[in-house]
Structure 1
Amino acid sequence: MVLTKENLILTHQQILQKIKRMAFEIYEQNFEETQLVLAGIQENGYFLAQALAQELREISPIDIQLTSVRLHKTQPLTHPIEIEPALPPLSNTAVVLVDDVLNTGKTLAYTLRAFLEKDCKKLEIATLINRHHTAYPIAATYTGYSLATTLREHIRVVKTDSIWQAHLL
């Protein structure tokens, strides 16, 4: 899988624009909140959550808490989900679960339980790219880019240093 100009679907500048727009959408839907948790699924989902947190801190007075979610993506039932830093009960807190690509929804579906157990006030999903191949009842609340692909195609979001790119492989 070679990353080339021909299979580039989002440039760095386009991704930054989408992150900014998503941050505004998140703020619009949560403007009454005093605190918002952005939970990024490692690794690229966490990078996206960091970028969204930065944008939200610039445009809103909401206290943005950033947390990392790590799970075994091929065997999620046999390995624990790790959330760092550990979260207190979230009964009065809205949570946005963040991942780079929504494909089947499996990763997000398995991650939901950890936040439902914290009794969060509201749970939303943000994804940079939505492929619309969900096999689980997962829908993104915030999407940067929707792209219809075949099941054989893959999307790879790459972040090196401070440069983002997305490729269709």
Structure 2
Amino acid sequence: MGRKSLILTDAQVRQKIKRIAYEIYENNSQEKEIILAGIYEQGYELANLLLKELEVIAPIKITLIGVKLDKFAPTQSEIALTCNVSQLKNKCIVLIDDVMNTGRTMAYSLKPFLNVKIKKIETAVLVNRSHTEFPILTQYAGYQLSTTINEHVEVQLERDKKEVYLQ
């Protein structure tokens, strides 16, 4: 890959996460519980950061679960949740990933949620590249970024350093 360009600094990433948390709460303030479903690895880390922000601002129960799948071969792999699907009945789910590119990962990640009657599913990403090939809409996006399909967005969500690069 070529040279990396910093597109979001640590402070900007933290601000975007805080804004997304406020939007999630504003749109779901009447709920008794919100389930944050983070797609492993980076989406789960982003969901965990959103959980921490929501716990500060929202007086409702926030539950974090993980979605495990092989992003490169989703049709050949099992798509699993880190909870029992019965716990999701009549709940509001926010499916979370770090970057939305074609919508493929999000589309396949929906599969386990189709086995239970849920109230609604929303989606959240830190960076939306808008190269959609699947009918997936992001309700919450921290940053809209116009890129070519050949460019790569790298999200770093380490403990002391949260940054986004374009390569």
The bucket for the TM-score relative to the shorter chain is over 0.9
What are the superposed Cα offsets for residues 42-80 of structure 1, whole Å, 9 maximum, x if unpaired?
Answer: 111001000101111100111000001110111111111
- 3-state SS of paired residue (1:67): strand
| CA RMSD, 1 decimal | 1.3
- 3-state SS of paired residue (1:36): strand
How many angstroms apart in 2 are the aligned matches of 1:69 and 1:154? 23
Task: List gaps (5 residues or longer) in structure 2.
Answer: none
TM normalised by structure 1 equals 0.94
How many angstroms apart in 1 are the aligned matches of 2:46 and 2:85? 20
Which segment drifts farther, 112-121 or 100-109?
112-121
How many angstroms apart in 1 are the aligned matches of 2:29 and 2:91? 13
Percent of paired sites with the same residue: 46
How many angstroms apart in 1 are the aligned matches of 2:157 and 2:3? 12
What are the superposed Cα offsets for residues 84-129 of structure 1, whole Å, 9 maximum, x if unpaired?
Answer: 1333252321000000000000000001121122221000000000
Match among 40, 43, 60 for residue 42 of structure 1: 40
Answer yes or no: is 1:80 the counterpart of 2:78: yes
Provide the residue aligned with 1:22 in structure 2: 20
Which segment drifts farther, 114-123 or 125-134?
114-123
Matched residues, number: 167
Alignment of 1:85-104 (within 5 A): 85-104=83-102
Provide the residue aligned with 2:159 in structure 1: 161
Preserved CA contact (<8 Å) 2:98 2:155? yes
Preserved CA contact (<8 Å) 2:37 2:44? yes
AA matched with 1:101 = V
Q: Following TM superposition, by how much is the alpha carbon of 1:3 offset from its aligned partner in structure 2, in angstroms?
A: 6.8
Which runs of structure 1 show a deviation greater than 6 angstroms over 4 or more consecutive aligned residues? none
